Amino acid sequence: MINSPDRSSLVDRVTGNGAAARWIRAHFDYSESDWCLYWPFSRNENGYGLFGERSTKVHRIMCEYRNGPAPEGQPEAAHSCGNGHLGCVNPMHLSWKSRSENLKEMYQQGRKPMRYKLTPTQVDEIRALKDRARPDEIAKQFGVTQSTIREIHAGRIWKHDRKDIRIFTEDEVRSVLSTSSDPKSAARLSKEFGVSVNTIYRIRSRQSYGWMDL
């Protein structure tokens, strides 16, 4: 039985004026299901976002906000996107599952085509890295296989037919990194550069353009 969300109580638990608390409150009602929402602050050794003195996992907070407390027998906040280890906390990607259900889904996700694991922004970055970094280094950075990198560079998958590609220069990346981490500045930068707010968060956390030696 799925429990009803007690959202007001959960919001009260995410207190404080720190950037991390403000970020969580600003994204509780995030409703874009197509792409991941990456946590731009501290993470554990497995890549999952952490919040507060007790190092609560952020994806569990977001899952509870959307789905209510974990039901009996389904204690794990599972990612439909398969990108929990990369810091995704998109509430639209989260649901409560049993351990066996979560393991089965993780296994199935490992066999999905890579187009489900990479966002358009990441693909654009991979293209920009062609001849600037080795395929094995790029593959490790983005968590995919070397063959996927070669297929993208060769134009055999994720064909280069988009009109809204935005590749940042080193000076632009420095500009993003030099700003404060509050949501308002992220919104301002997204408008200035014509990209999503999520792209700005990824640059700030060095998930994007981390290969630049800045």
Query: Contact at 8 Å (CB) between 76 and 97?
Result: yes
Q: What is the pLDDT of residue 34?
A: 86
Q: What is the pLDDT of residue 127?
A: 84
Spell out the domain ranges in the chain: 7-109, 115-204
Q: What is the pLDDT of residue 167?
A: 75
Query: Contact at 8 Å (CB) between 49 and 41?
Result: yes
Query: Contact at 8 Å (CB) between 202 and 38?
Result: yes
Residue type, 121: T
Instruction: Give the long-range contacts of residues 110-113, CB within 8 A, separation 24 or more.
Output: 110/82, 112/82, 113/157
Q: What is the pLDDT of residue 95?
A: 95
Q: What is the pLDDT of residue 67?
A: 93
pLDDT band of residue 187 (cuts 50, 70, 90) is confident
Span 45-83, pLDDT tens digits: 778 899 988 889 999 999 999 999 999 889 999 999 888
Tokens matching residue 179: 């700003």
Rounded Cα distance between 64 and 74, Å, is: 12
**pTM exceeds 0.85:** no
pLDDT > 70 in the chain, percent? 86
Lowest average pLDDT, out of 29-33, 49-53, 130-134, 165-169, goes to 165-169
pLDDT at position 1 over 50: no
Instruction: Give the long-range contacts of residues 162-169, CB within 8 A, separation 24 or more.
Output: 162/120, 162/124, 164/194, 165/124, 166/124, 166/193, 166/194, 166/195, 166/199, 167/124, 167/125, 167/128, 168/193, 168/203, 168/209
Span 90-111, pLDDT tens digits: 999 999 999 888 777 776 666 4
pLDDT at position 173 over 50: yes
pLDDT band of residue 113 (cuts 50, 70, 90) is very low
- Higher pLDDT among residues 154 and 106, named by residue: 154
